[in-house]
Structure 1
């Protein structure tokens, strides 16, 4: 569910979801070259969104920085797509993390849209997007101490606390995708018309890639808008 507080800031947004109900996310050495090639090709395709030599002046970067200026954020927080495009702009090679993350990173780069994912089995109760009350517990990857959400920060959250802070900036260790993930929910964000067009293409291609890689046929896509902010997953 997406809360009214989110639509007050981003009334034209559309958030796309891909539900993958039964998968094996373990590394498969026979498919490693395929994933590496996907990431390599996507890194090259990302250059389309980086025409300006001044990285911060590129349209995608500006759109998301302006979006982040509309709500409370931790100092230095940037959209996940900025982090990926920055690495692509600097000529870095992307190394495999796990199949699900590799697939959505390749799509994120190719379409210049923020992508993320959660282990569905580790979400406690309902999955929400909205303004934080402040103090929602959050343990990022590798952290030993709590880094709670700030009041009025836009977060994904469940009954046990924050899942992802500042939209898709930083992921909680509790629900992150691992090789042990067997059911997942992947997310692509769009906050205006041009992003929505790319995001729709992106989520459809992500479904195709996931269906092919995991050899499944029961994945499903849905999207949430201000006029349709709820969806139930059986």
Structure 2
């Protein structure tokens, strides 16, 4: 039975945070999406970062401040800042595979960091916690093993770190590829005033999965008062 657990150490740093997500099975991730989906999302992203420098924009400020609350790898930024920066510079986020393109499109449209992973490759439970230091991690696109820092916010499973520095980079071990058929997606909100927006972002991703990949995703929401979700039950309910 796979569970998603947020540990007390995380809530001590971010007591008002919320994690929302989706699980989905029987996905055919081999097709192609309309090119305009990402093009439009890259255009919409620019409304979130009109000011120069990029750190002068509220959604980026939120995450810059959050990353000051825990130990991070030098230069690490929230995944959503990296996406917004590319859009702002006119470089745009390009296609990877359908499922990844869908969650990137939502991240750009709503300015929330979104992670996506192959649920069949998750060993045991997912935990959002604070690293003891030394936990192993291999970033997507790289082969060298890194070690999490003591005090770093991480996602991990029973084998290793699956996402480092809160939402900076995912692990290559659990990345979504064209052969992935069972997936988990999750996004973090650290600003209580954006609660309605993160719910709308989640619903948009759910709609995209239904529209473009013809699958129905089941949702979950984690808060300090409800820090656990039974992923197995969601998948097979």
1:34-69 CA-partner distances (Å, limit 9, x unpaired): 1x2111111111121112132221111111000000
Distance 2:126 2:93 in 1: 29
Unaligned runs of 5+ in 2: 233-237
Distance in 2 (alpha carbons) for counterparts of 1:232 and 1:93 = 36
Which residue is 2:235 aligned to? none
- Matched with 1:222 is 220
| Structure number having the greater strand percentage | 2
* 1:1-234 equivalence runs, <5 A: 1-26=5-30, 28=31, 31-32=32-33, 34=34, 36-217=35-216, 219-234=217-232
Indicate conservation of the 8 Å contact 2:83/2:93, yes or no.
Answer: no
Separation in 2, partners of 1:195, 1:171? 24
- Provide the alpha-carbon RMSD of the alignment: 1.0
For normalisation by structure 1, the TM-score amounts to: 0.95
Q: 8 Å contact 1:113–1:198 — kept in the other structure?
A: no
* Alignment coverage as a number of residue pairs: 228
- The whole-number CA distance in structure 2 between the counterparts of 1:194 and 1:106 is 22
**TM-score scaled by structure 2?**
0.93
For 2:183 and 2:116, the matched residues in 1 are separated by 7
- The structural deviation recorded for 1:135 is 1.0
CA distance in 2, matches of 1:177, 1:194: 31
Find the residue that maps to 1:231 and give its secondary structure: strand
Q: How far, CA to CA, are the matches of 2:71 and 2:112 in structure 1?
A: 21
Q: CA deviation at 1:231?
A: 0.9
